[in-house]
């Protein structure tokens, strides 16, 4: 009995010790609970809220781009998509089979869908097809009871109703690239699009608007349980362009046949760009839907550079259109209009021979004749007398050799050479022969079609340094509230301008040698003036000249001359200016002037420059018109 009792006492003692140890552990656990739930409670409460609440961005609708009369050029179209929610569809393969009977689901798409279904969480909808037609949508909706897990989803996509007609002005939107990230959280939203070029890029911030947000309760998988709070964003602002889409379409159609061309129509007084067309064009809608690598490659390797806006980024030797600047420089340098020189078809300078475009020569020519006949020898002489620096100074006053601050990206400066420029850039002093070549707009001289239009506008608008613009008012400002802008005078005497204008009127309307007489506007109130230009792409060798291989048609396309024309209308009170270039089109009078005629006629008929459709605007407050 005794050992049994000892064993009992020992057990009791040790059981008490063990119980004491357990009580200690309970105390420890209680202390830990107190620490977590009382001492650190506020810290953990914050963490729990952060877990639970997630901020979702609500992308604002992108602002629209409107033409000068309010016609939408870029809008947001509703894009109907059919999506499948894996957790709601009992059998995905079977659902796709059923769906395939209603709308086509190609085999490769099916593989992509199954891949995405596997990769994503079961509640995340997977897009089956996008851009459904209304008919397809209704076919699915009618069969909805048989299609659990299949939903129709409406998204917004950018839509350009006029397709490629104004592509270079509008630009396009595409997925955000790494480079575009600026910290705006909107940019990190999957599927978000931003402007890549043109107006879409220039005014991207204003068009984009401000994101709203929604506070939602989410679970650990990120599934939204409910919405707690919502703050609407600010929709993007509309941008009102100066473009007249009717005219734009007309121009696009008129030059659409050419391989490479650029046309710009401007209001001479306000600087409003009414139409801006670069050929070839592209369809901005394609970017939105996502280009395949192959399509993109085709666009960027196309030798005709469809992505380049040739109106602002194409730099061409202006050829004879530059004679406007040379003539003004000469008149301002006190060379009278009556100054005459004799043209024998060429002029000799040292051992170099400078040719006139007319083989036999023009005979005795004064300034008006020089412009009308576009006599090269006469302008060699003028340039020689005035000197390159004064010609260049005048060209710059007319807007060449510099950016015109048009509100789309990609503008190029062109080149107006001076003595200092050549020494600095090439390191060789200026040669007199180069002055002669510059006198007919060849050699170093380069200008963009837009610069040539601005030159013409500054000549015919009463001598004001008008600059082009593509928007009627800054985004968010009603164009009606935008005060009219006034431009400083360029400081050229009215008499000088009138003489050059008269010369340009004769170019088109004088049957005796006017280089563009064939392209005159016969309806008198719409009559136009202008200047042709033919810029040589390649120097013609003496041997070729002797053989007589001079005709454009005899040369390969790539070596043919560029055809240029700058014009204005109506002649009595010039309001519209146009600048046309047809690359490798041959002579300006044959290839460019007819386009300019049709465009100017259309602009006047449409009354393009007024804001209200069909209303004939009051005569612009300017110039008394050229003295004839």
Cβ 126 to other proteins shortest distance, Å: 22
Considering only residues 577-606, where is the footprint of other proteins by CB under 8 A? Answer: none
425 contributes a contact to other proteins by CB under 8 A: no
- 320 catalytic, yes or no? yes
Residue closer to other proteins by CB (options 36, 612) is 36
Name beta bridge partners: 231: 213
37 contributes a contact to other proteins by CB under 8 A: yes
| Interface pick for other proteins out of 10, 122, 432, 493 (rule CB under 8 A) | 10
Q: Three-class SS of residue 404? A: coil
- The closest of 17, 532, 604 to 275, measured between CA atoms, is 604
| Interface pick for other proteins out of 22, 234, 297, 352 (rule CB under 8 A) | 22
Residue closer to other proteins by CB (options 50, 553) is 50
Residue 584, φ and ψ in degrees, nearest 5: 55, 35
Residue closer to other proteins by CB (options 41, 177) is 41
Cβ 263 to other proteins shortest distance, Å: 59
12 contributes a contact to other proteins by CB under 8 A: yes
Of 22-30, 67-75, 336-344, 346-354, which segment contacts other proteins by CB under 8 A? 22-30
Contact 226, 218 (CB under 8 A): no
Give the other-Cβ count within 10 Å of 391's Cβ: 28
Residue closer to other proteins by CB (options 43, 547) is 43
55 contributes a contact to other proteins by CB under 8 A: no
Residue tagged 């490659």 (tokens): 297
93 contributes a contact to other proteins by CB under 8 A: no
Residue closer to other proteins by CB (options 29, 477) is 29
124 contributes a contact to other proteins by CB under 8 A: no
| Interface pick for other proteins out of 108, 119, 134, 221 (rule CB under 8 A) | 221
15 contributes a contact to other proteins by CB under 8 A: yes
Q: Is 151 exposed, middle or buried (0-12, 13-18, 19+ CB in 10 A)?
A: middle
| Interface pick for other proteins out of 1, 32, 406, 471 (rule CB under 8 A) | 32
Q: How many residues belong to the site for other proteins (CB under 8 A)?
A: 43
Residue closer to other proteins by CB (options 25, 627) is 25
6 contributes a contact to other proteins by CB under 8 A: yes
Cβ 238 to other proteins shortest distance, Å: 42
229 contributes a contact to other proteins by CB under 8 A: no
Cα angle for residues 33, 35, 40 (degrees, 5° grid): 120
Given 278, 281, 320, 496, which residue is catalytic?
Answer: 320
- The closest of 475, 476, 451, 480 to 465, measured between CA atoms, is 451
Cβ 5 to other proteins shortest distance, Å: 10
| Interface pick for other proteins out of 100, 217, 283, 572 (rule CB under 8 A) | 217
CA 9/CA 427 separation, integer angstroms: 114
**Rama region for 92: left / alpha / beta (φ>0; ψ in -120 to 50; rest):** alpha
Give the other-Cβ count within 10 Å of 479's Cβ: 16
Residue closer to other proteins by CB (options 26, 557) is 26
Q: Three-class SS of residue 384? A: helix
Cβ 223 to other proteins shortest distance, Å: 9
Tokens of 127: 């897009």
| Interface pick for other proteins out of 1, 38, 300, 616 (rule CB under 8 A) | 38
Cβ 215 to other proteins shortest distance, Å: 14
CA 133/CA 468 separation, integer angstroms: 41
Give the other-Cβ count within 10 Å of 445's Cβ: 29
Please state at what angle helix 323-332 crosses helix 388-397, rounded to 10 degrees: 110
3-state helix, strand, coil in the chain (%, to 5): 40, 20, 40
| Interface pick for other proteins out of 85, 137, 218, 465 (rule CB under 8 A) | 218
Give the other-Cβ count within 10 Å of 586's Cβ: 18
Contact 162, 187 (CB under 8 A): no
Cβ 216 to other proteins shortest distance, Å: 11
Positive/negative CA dihedral, 124, 128, 134, 140: negative
219 contributes a contact to other proteins by CB under 8 A: yes
Residue tagged 């851009």 (tokens): 131
| Interface pick for other proteins out of 55, 225, 477, 549 (rule CB under 8 A) | 225
Contact 573, 499 (CB under 8 A): no
> Which own/partner pairs from 536-543 qualify as long-range (CB within 8 Å, at least 24 positions apart)?
536/317, 536/319, 536/442, 536/561, 537/561, 537/562, 537/584
| Interface pick for other proteins out of 1, 154, 220, 543 (rule CB under 8 A) | 220
Catalytic residues, which ones? 320
Residues within the interface to other proteins (CB under 8 A)? 3-4, 6-8, 10-12, 14-19, 22-23, 25-26, 28-30, 32-34, 36-38, 40-41, 43-45, 47-49, 51-52, 217-221, 225
């Amino acid at each position: 009995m005794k050992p049994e009792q000892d064993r009992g006492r020992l057990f009791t003692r040790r059981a008490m010790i063990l119980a004491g140890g357990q009580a200690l552990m309970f105390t420890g656990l209680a202390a830990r609970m107190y620490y977590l739930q009382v001492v650190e409670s506020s810290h953990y409460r914050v963490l729990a809220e952060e877990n639970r609440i997630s901020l979702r961005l609500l992308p604002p609708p992108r602002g629209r781009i409107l033409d000068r009369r309010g016609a939408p050029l870029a809008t947001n179209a509703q894009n109907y998509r059919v999506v499948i929610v894996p957790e709601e569809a009992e059998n995905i393969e079977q659902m796709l089979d059923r769906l395939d009977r209603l709308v086509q689901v190609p085999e490769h798409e099916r593989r992509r869908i199954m891949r995405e279904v596997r990769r994503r969480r079961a509640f995340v909808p997977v897009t089956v097809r996008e851009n459904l037609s209304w008919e397809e949508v209704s076919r699915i909706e009618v069969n909805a009871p048989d299609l659990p897990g299949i939903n129709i989803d409406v998204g917004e996509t950018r839509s350009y109703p006029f397709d490629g007609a104004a592509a270079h002005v509008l630009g396009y939107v595409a997925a955000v690239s790494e480079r575009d990230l600026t910290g705006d959280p909107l940019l990190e939203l999957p599927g978000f699009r931003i402007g890549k070029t043109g107006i879409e890029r220039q005014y991207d911030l204003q068009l984009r608007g401000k994101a709203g947000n929604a506070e939602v309760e989410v679970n650990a998988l990120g599934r939204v349980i409910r919405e707690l709070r919502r703050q609407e964003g600010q929709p993007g602002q509309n941008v009102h362009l100066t473009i007249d889409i009717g005219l734009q379409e007309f121009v696009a159609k008129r030059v659409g046949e050419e391989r490479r061309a650029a046309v710009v129509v401007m209001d001479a007084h306000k600087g409003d760009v009414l139409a801006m067309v670069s050929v070839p064009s592209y369809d901005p809608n394609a970017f939105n839907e996502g280009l395949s690598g192959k399509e993109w490659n085709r666009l960027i390797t196309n030798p005709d550079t469809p992505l380049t806006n040739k109106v602002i980024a194409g730099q061409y030797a202006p050829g004879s259109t530059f004679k406007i600047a040379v003539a003004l420089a000469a008149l301002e340098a006190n060379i009278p209009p009556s100054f005459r020189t004799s043209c024998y078809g060429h002029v000799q300078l040292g051992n170099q021979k400078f040719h006139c475009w007319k083989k036999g020569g023009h005979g005795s020519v004064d300034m008006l004749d020089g412009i009308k006949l576009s006599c090269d020898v006469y302008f060699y002489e003028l340039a020689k007398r005035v000197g390159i620096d004064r010609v260049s100074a005048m060209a710059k006053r007319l807007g060449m050799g510099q950016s015109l601050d048009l509100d789309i990206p990609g503008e190029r400066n062109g080149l107006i050479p001076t003595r200092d420029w050549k020494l600095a850039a090439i390191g060789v002093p200026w040669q007199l022969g180069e002055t002669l070549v510059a006198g007919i707009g060849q050699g170093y001289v380069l200008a963009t079609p837009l610069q040539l239009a601005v030159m013409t506008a500054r000549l015919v608008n009463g001598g004001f340094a008008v600059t082009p613009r593509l928007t009627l008012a800054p985004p968010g400002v009603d164009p009606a509230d935008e005060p009219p802008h006034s431009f400083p005078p360029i400081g050229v005497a009215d008499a000088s301008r009138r003489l050059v204008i008269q010369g340009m009127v004769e170019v088109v309307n004088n049957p005796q040698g006017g280089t563009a007489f064939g392209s005159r506007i016969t309806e008198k109130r719409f009559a136009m003036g202008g200047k042709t230009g033919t810029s040589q792409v390649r120097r013609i060798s003496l041997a070729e000249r002797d053989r007589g291989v001079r005709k454009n048609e005899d040369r390969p396309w790539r070596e043919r001359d560029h055809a240029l024309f700058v014009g204005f209308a109506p002649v009595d009170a010039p309001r519209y200016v146009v600048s046309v270039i047809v690359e490798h089109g041959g002579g300006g009078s044959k290839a460019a002037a007819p386009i300019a005629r049709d465009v100017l006629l259309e602009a006047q008929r449409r009354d393009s420059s007024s804001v209200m459709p069909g209303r004939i605007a009051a005569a612009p407050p300017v110039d008394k018109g050229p003295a004839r």
